[in-house]
Structure 1
Amino acid sequence: MATHTTAAATAVPPARTAHSVVWILIVSSLAVKAGGFGWDFLGFYVADGTGHGTTAAGAALTAFGIGWCLGQASAGALTDRFGQRTALVALMILSALACLALAVATSLPALLAVAVCLGVTMEAHRPAVSAAINEAIPSEAGRTRAQGWLYFSANAGIAICGGVGGYLAQHHGYRVLFVVNAVVCLAFALVARRVLAPRATGTGSEALSYRQVLADPTLRWITVVAVCSMICAWGLVSVLPLLMTSDALPASAYGLAMVANTVAVLALTPPLMRLLVGRGETVRFPFVPVLATGSAILGVGITIAAFQHTVLGYAIAAVVLVPGEVCYSVAVGAYISTAAPAGATGRYQAVISGATALASLPPLGIALALDAGGRPLVAGLLAASAALAVAACYPLARSLRTHTTAHPEKRS
């Protein structure tokens, strides 16, 4: 496995400044996910707010996923070519514009088009923030902890978004949510412009293309695991709304389930991070077993959710998902912190985030499965996805051993 190579000493800011920038970006990432109402309530808005129904909501979420796939590739390339500051500022401004467009769209074709645009930009900050982490922090465990906290910020932000958004949607309507989302994105753009230095002329990396990055077998296998695991994880914000809508539960009920998830995320993430990563300079456990464990827990949690019909049942399922989310976050953070060569972190993160985007495509299929075979079919499909993720961890571990043996000078 290729090891992370730090940037030249002249390009790295002093330790205190670098760590401060990393934490500012992680907190900003949490804020942009907590205010990410455009995606979190897209399904409810299409199905309930505009009256197009559950199947149309599944189509809109699938359109969002298509845009997400396209956007991650662009975000990774922009980050590695033009620098983190340029990528973050440009993509967050585009995200704000997409949110404002969603606030005025009502017809199904317009909603599908806006959903694609929203997907292109909504998660586009992740490659740039990951690249900033890998440049700023020298130790493997330190990078892993920071990458883990970045994933925590996403999980906590999404959960907060559901709780706050459910209340606002019920009392003020969906369009207010999307305007707030636009304001948060613009604020992140301003923060990025303030705290990140522009890339010096001539320092853009052309060392690795996407074709070269994807030649890494470890990246290919962890992508398979990521797709299958995140189908289960993102069920929290894609499958749950479909199931709860079929039970005629309001958006506020979904918000309560997300509040339960938020409390569990806040309570369980710090101790699990300490357990899995430790406080030293090296990671305590190999990340592949952690990844397999997380995938299994995610499968159990979302399968439980498929058979629920009450707010309490959905809230319990949302809590069960949390340890799986943490294990997955730590494992993927460990991989990014050690596998991505200097100048290619954006592309490595973009590929894995793109896998997450692929995992957001099934809502239309889940909606059709719900109509065709009911909840047992939905549960079976989700459980099979988790089982495939666990199975794919074996060839991932084997490819890691083979790659390390073939390149002993790059051992992490």
Structure 2
Amino acid sequence: MAAHTSAAPRVPPARTARSVVWILIISSLAVKAGGFAWDFLGYYVADGTNGTGHGTTAAGAALTAFGVGWCAGQASAGALTDRFGQRTALVALMILSALACLALAVATSLPALLAVAVLLGLTMEAHRPAVSAAINEAIPTEAGRTRAQGWLYFSANCGIAICGGAGGYLAHHHGYRLLFAINALACVAFALIARRVLAPRNAAADAVRVRYRQVLTDPTLRWITVVAVCSMICAWGLVSVLPLLMTSDSLPASSYGLVMVANTVAVLALTPPLMRLLVGRGDSIRFPFVPVLATGSAILGLGITVAAFQHTVAGYAIAAVVLVPGEVCYSVAVGAYISTAAPAGATGRYQAVISGATALASLPPLGIALALDAGGRPLVAGVLAASAALAVTACVPLARRLRIHTTTRPETRS
């Protein structure tokens, strides 16, 4: 009885909960829109005019260091969220991210840049586990949590699109260091907002302790991680495979910009109606999320495989648009999994594992480039199609394990 009495005040009124969730989602959009340190790291390292002038090889090394830091950062962010609460984790990680952005603005030697790149990777996406945990704690219904998780992914896509357009203009007229200063300010603002709107961790929550060793014993999490890695290899093709293919067709960077504009317009136009279709407006999710996840993986594979055989801007733009329904299905399904399968006290770690899988999926572009050199476009298409097929296939044991999981532990949330 005492546990229930002490935990009750942590559940805010519905209107307050919705307000907090929307503030966090909008803040996530803002910090992604200002995420110039991530998007322009490679340019800054390679550019000899406004950057440090270390060349493309050094830029590749810096991006790889960023990816390694990103994978490790998700694990630490999830642990911090579950151990110390969303407010403490968000404030601390956003302050560290701001310091990393400022360090990037003053670093010039290659060793210093590589060290800063790792630190950026550790912190730049570190808000995702804390925001997901806050959503799950604030919203009482499965469909409501799924909608909010889906809008969190939508805000990230919108923020990335804004970042690319605004950053390119600002970098051209004012240089990269201004971008990194703006990025630092966005992180500090998010830290202040989190401190303002999120409550401190309730002492009663410390009784619930879940570690990664326990989390990783969940077979449903292991299978959805396989799906996430394979699906996101296809989704990341938009920013890794397409530039390689378009360069081989001697298409200029401006053509790639047009393709990204087509993708962004499709994201803005298709996400709201697809969210209503897949989730609905009630308290229960309209469709089981595993078929939605399998469908999204298949569409992502189809879109990037089609792109492998294109040679015109229009063809690449169509392929980029085809990817969008797959991205929406994937984000809705993953949001549904986080909102329904993560046990109390472990939402941060569950989100961190899946976000870490996304980070891991950003590392294979070198392999795609080698495949393009070795076997041309058919080999690239085959590799990407095989990745999507593996994602769809992994949904079968995922569904089976979820049925067992639900039977043996019907209450997944406190």
Q: TM-score, normalised by structure 1?
A: 0.90
Match of 2:222 in 1: 220
Q: How many Å separate the matches in 2 of 1:70 and 1:184?
A: 23
Match of 1:113 in 2: 115
Match of 1:288 in 2: 290
The alpha-carbon distance between structure 1 residues 246 and 183, as it changes in their structure 2 partners (threshold 3 A), is farther
Match of 2:24 in 1: 25
The alpha-carbon distance between structure 1 residues 253 and 175, as it changes in their structure 2 partners (threshold 3 A), is farther
The alpha-carbon distance between structure 1 residues 362 and 145, as it changes in their structure 2 partners (threshold 3 A), is same
Kindly provide the CA deviation profile for residues 277-307 of structure 1, in whole angstroms up to 9, marking residues without a partner as x.
1111110111011001111111122233344
Question: Which one is further off, 121-130 or 180-189?
Answer: 180-189
For residue 13 of structure 1, give the secondary structure of its aligned residue in structure 2: coil
> 1:24-103 residue pairs with structure 2 within 5 A?
24-48=23-47, 50=52, 52=54, 54-103=56-105
Question: Which one is further off, 259-268 or 80-89?
Answer: 259-268
Aligned partner of 2:105: which letter?
A
Aligned partner of 2:144: which letter?
G
- Tell me if the contact between 1:43 and 1:238 (Cα under 8 Å) persists in the aligned partners: no
The alpha-carbon distance between structure 1 residues 57 and 303, as it changes in their structure 2 partners (threshold 3 A), is farther
Alpha-carbon distance, 1:56 to partner: 4.3
- Tell me if the contact between 1:164 and 1:255 (Cα under 8 Å) persists in the aligned partners: no
**Counterpart pick for 1:350 among 329, 342, 352:** 352
Alpha-carbon distance, 1:129 to partner: 0.5
Alpha-carbon distance, 1:315 to partner: 3.2
Q: How many Å separate the matches in 1 of 2:127 and 2:106?
A: 25
Match of 2:268 in 1: 266
Alpha-carbon distance, 1:90 to partner: 0.9
Q: How many Å separate the matches in 2 of 1:236 and 1:129?
A: 26
- Tell me if the contact between 1:210 and 1:347 (Cα under 8 Å) persists in the aligned partners: yes
Match of 1:126 in 2: 128
Alpha-carbon distance, 1:245 to partner: 5.6
Alpha-carbon distance, 1:206 to partner: 4.3
Alpha-carbon distance, 1:262 to partner: 1.8
- Tell me if the contact between 1:127 and 1:349 (Cα under 8 Å) persists in the aligned partners: yes
The alpha-carbon distance between structure 1 residues 347 and 97, as it changes in their structure 2 partners (threshold 3 A), is same
Match of 2:336 in 1: 334
Aligned partner of 1:305: which letter?
A
For the pair 1:320 / 2:322, whether they are aligned, the reply is yes
- Tell me if the contact between 2:340 and 2:412 (Cα under 8 Å) persists in the aligned partners: no
Match of 1:187 in 2: 189
Aligned partner of 1:67: which letter?
G
Alpha-carbon distance, 1:102 to partner: 2.5
Match of 1:377 in 2: 379
For the pair 1:233 / 2:235, whether they are aligned, the reply is yes
Aligned partner of 2:17: which letter?
A
Question: Which one is further off, 195-204 or 332-341?
Answer: 195-204
The alpha-carbon distance between structure 1 residues 166 and 303, as it changes in their structure 2 partners (threshold 3 A), is farther
Match of 1:9 in 2: 8
The alpha-carbon distance between structure 1 residues 289 and 377, as it changes in their structure 2 partners (threshold 3 A), is same
Question: Which one is further off, 63-72 or 176-185?
Answer: 176-185
Match of 1:174 in 2: 176
Alpha-carbon distance, 1:217 to partner: 0.6
- Tell me if the contact between 1:38 and 1:181 (Cα under 8 Å) persists in the aligned partners: yes
Aligned partner of 2:386: which letter?
A
The alpha-carbon distance between structure 1 residues 55 and 323, as it changes in their structure 2 partners (threshold 3 A), is farther
The alpha-carbon distance between structure 1 residues 108 and 313, as it changes in their structure 2 partners (threshold 3 A), is farther
Unmatched segments (≥5 aa) in structure 1: none
Aligned partner of 1:157: which letter?
G
- Tell me if the contact between 1:70 and 1:120 (Cα under 8 Å) persists in the aligned partners: yes
Unmatched segments (≥5 aa) in structure 2: none
Alpha-carbon distance, 1:244 to partner: 5.0
The alpha-carbon distance between structure 1 residues 405 and 206, as it changes in their structure 2 partners (threshold 3 A), is closer
Q: How many Å separate the matches in 2 of 1:409 and 1:89?
A: 31
Q: TM-score, normalised by structure 2?
A: 0.90
- Tell me if the contact between 2:300 and 2:388 (Cα under 8 Å) persists in the aligned partners: yes
- Tell me if the contact between 1:54 and 1:367 (Cα under 8 Å) persists in the aligned partners: no
- Tell me if the contact between 1:167 and 1:255 (Cα under 8 Å) persists in the aligned partners: no
Alpha-carbon distance, 1:382 to partner: 2.1
Alpha-carbon distance, 1:100 to partner: 2.3
Q: How many Å separate the matches in 2 of 1:182 and 1:378?
A: 38
Q: How many Å separate the matches in 1 of 2:265 and 2:115?
A: 35
For residue 181 of structure 1, give the secondary structure of its aligned residue in structure 2: helix
Larger Rg: 2
Q: Higher relative CO (CA 8 A, sep ≥ 6), structure 1 or 2?
A: 1
For residue 391 of structure 2, give the secondary structure of its aligned residue in structure 1: helix
The alpha-carbon distance between structure 1 residues 296 and 80, as it changes in their structure 2 partners (threshold 3 A), is same
